Amino acid sequence: AIRITQSPSSLSASAGDRVTITCRASQDISSYLAWYQQKPGKGPKLLIYGASTFQSGVPSRFSGSGSGTDFTLTISGLQPEDFASYYCQQYYNHPLVFGQGTRLEIK
């Protein structure tokens, strides 16, 4: 199975900051990577797929990049509602695998 290593596991930042979360795949997955946001007690919400394509309704301060094995999610100008957990997911093949998650906390 493809392994996904996500970092950092937690991150403290302030409103208005720019933050970057990274996922690395154990093999080439082309652009078959999605990003999700999850708030406590809720199901995850799709943010980005195809490594860089926005899901409808996602604010433009979120951006994704990368291909092959290295991917990043960047949030520019953090808003209070952005403090949540974030997960990447590879969908190159089965089993579908998520990164370990990044908890974004208010500094």
Binding residues for other proteins, per CB under 8 A? 1, 32, 34, 36, 38, 41-46, 49-50, 55, 87, 89, 91-101
Output 34 or 104, the one with its CB closest to other proteins: 34
Q: Tell me whether residue 1 or residue 106 sits nearer to other proteins (CB atom).
A: 1
Q: From the CB of 49, what's the least distance to other proteins, in Å?
A: 5
Q: CA 21 from chain center: how many Å?
A: 6
| Angle, CA 57 vertex, CA 10 and CA 42 arms, to 5° | 45
Least Å from the CB of residue 2 to other proteins:
12
CB contact at 8 A, 70 and 28: no
What minimum distance in Å lies between the beta carbon of 54 and other proteins? 12
Instruction: Considering the complex, state which of residue 17 and residue 101 has its C-beta at the smaller distance from other proteins.
Output: 101
Backbone phi, then psi, for 79, in 5-degree steps? -105, 155
How far is the C-alpha of 11 from the C-alpha of 75, rounded, in Å? 12
